[in-house]
């Protein structure tokens, strides 16, 4: 079936360093790619998303890039801070046979930012 | 602020019990979703609903059913709980035509 692969599963960085998380997807019809952040004891929350008609999107210290040809997209966090420590999930939108769409999530990346 | 609430944060049940997980959203969203979250597997879609009394199977519906009698409430039912259903269950909602999903805090279910 369709899937989204996410790497690495864990990432440890020093405060102030950059962090990069990469995802690949299998359905070439996917056109929407969100990233969710899950803090301890909470549900995931959308932090940034990108559509297939653009290659890059930035929001302060976070950015997402998309390569449709290679079917991969990445999350970049610059100047990391301890509060960036969380589990990050990428996802891709998949269109179903009934005309409905759903998100397929990656396995998640646990990011630890050390002071 | 969108608020999605789940009836319990932690739940312990015995094998064979019927289990109800409740989810309520207060933003009049049409779409509601149930996921389970397991280490190394991410979030997997169990069932979703795009309207009252409507339901669609997700990727792993076996052993589960759902009910959506009112727009704000989406219930997940484990007809006969088994140990392999021990997991974190997340409910989410989204407005019609929008992709952003708003998640509840999750229910951690342990089946003994």
> Does B105 lie at the interface with A, CB-CB under 8 angstroms?
yes
Of the candidates B104, B90, B94, the residue with the CA atom closest to the CA atom of residue B36: B90
CA distance B39 to A89: 12
Q: Of A107 and A102, which is predicted with more confidence?
A: A107
Task: Please answer yes or no on whether A106 and B42 come within 8 Å at the CB atom.
Answer: yes
Q: Which of A4, A32, A100 lies at the smallest CB-CB distance from B99?
A: A32
Chain A residues touching B4 at Cβ < 8 A: 43
Task: Please answer yes or no on whether A107 and B42 come within 8 Å at the CB atom.
Answer: yes
CB B79 within 8 A of CB B63: yes
- In the prediction, which pLDDT does A92 show? 95
The β-bridge partners of B46 are: none
Band (pLDDT 50/70/90 cuts) for residue A96 is low
Q: Which of B56, B58, B105 lies at the smallest CB-CB distance from A98?
A: B56
Cα-based torsion angle of the residue sequence A90, A96, A100, A103 in order, rounded to the nearest 10 degrees: -10
**Closest CA–CA distance from residue A81 to any residue of chain B (Å):** 23
- In the prediction, which pLDDT does A101 show? 77
Q: Which two tokens stand for residue A83?
A: 């509060």
Statement: residue A97 has pLDDT above 70: no
Q: Which of A4, A46, A102 lies at the smallest CB-CB distance from B100?
A: A46
> Does B87 lie at the interface with A, CB-CB under 8 angstroms?
no
Lowest mean pLDDT of A110-114, B39-43, B95-99, name the range.
B95-99
If you count them, how many residues does chain B have?
Answer: 112
- In the prediction, which pLDDT does A99 show? 62
Task: Please answer yes or no on whether B99 and A93 come within 8 Å at the CB atom.
Answer: yes
Task: Please answer yes or no on whether B40 and A9 come within 8 Å at the CB atom.
Answer: yes
Q: What is the pLDDT of residues B49-97, one digit of tens each?
A: 999 989 999 999 999 999 999 999 999 999 999 999 999 999 999 998 8
Cα diameter, chain A? 49
Cα-based torsion angle of the residue sequence A37, A43, A49, A52 in order, rounded to the nearest 10 degrees: 120
Which of B42, B50, B107 to mutate to probe the A interface, most A CBs <10 Å? B42
Q: What is the pLDDT of residues B18-34, one digit of tens each?
A: 999 999 999 999 999 99
Half-sphere exposure of B62 (CA within 13 A, CB side): 3
């Amino acid at each position: 079936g369709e899937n989204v692969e996410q790497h690495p599963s864990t990432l440890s960085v020093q405060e102030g360093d950059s962090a990069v998380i990469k995802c690949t997807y299998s359905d070439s019809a996917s056109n929407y790619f969100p990233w969710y952040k899950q803090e301890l004891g909470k549900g995931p929350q959308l932090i940034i998303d990108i559509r297939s008609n653009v290659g890059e999107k930035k929001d302060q210290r976070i950015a997402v890039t998309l390569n449709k040809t290679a079917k991969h997209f990445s999350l970049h966090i610059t100047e990391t801070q301890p509060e960036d420590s969380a589990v990050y999930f990428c996802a891709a939108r998949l269109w179903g046979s009934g005309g409905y769409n759903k998100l397929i999530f990656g396995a998640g990346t646990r990011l630890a930012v050390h002071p | 602020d969108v608020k999605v609430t789940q009836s319990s944060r932690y739940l312990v049940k015995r094998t064979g019990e019927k289990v109800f997980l409740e989810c309520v959203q207060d933003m009049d969203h049409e779409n509601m979703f149930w996921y389970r979250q397991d280490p190394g597997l991410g979030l997997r879609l169990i069932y979703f609903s795009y309207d009252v009394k409507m339901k669609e199977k997700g990727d792993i519906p076996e052993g589960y059913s759902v009910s959506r009698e009112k727009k704000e409430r989406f219930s997940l039912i484990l007809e006969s709980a088994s140990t392999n259903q021990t997991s974190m269950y997340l409910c989410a909602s989204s407005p019609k035509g929008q992709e952003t999903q708003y998640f509840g805090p999750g229910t951690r279910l342990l089946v003994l």
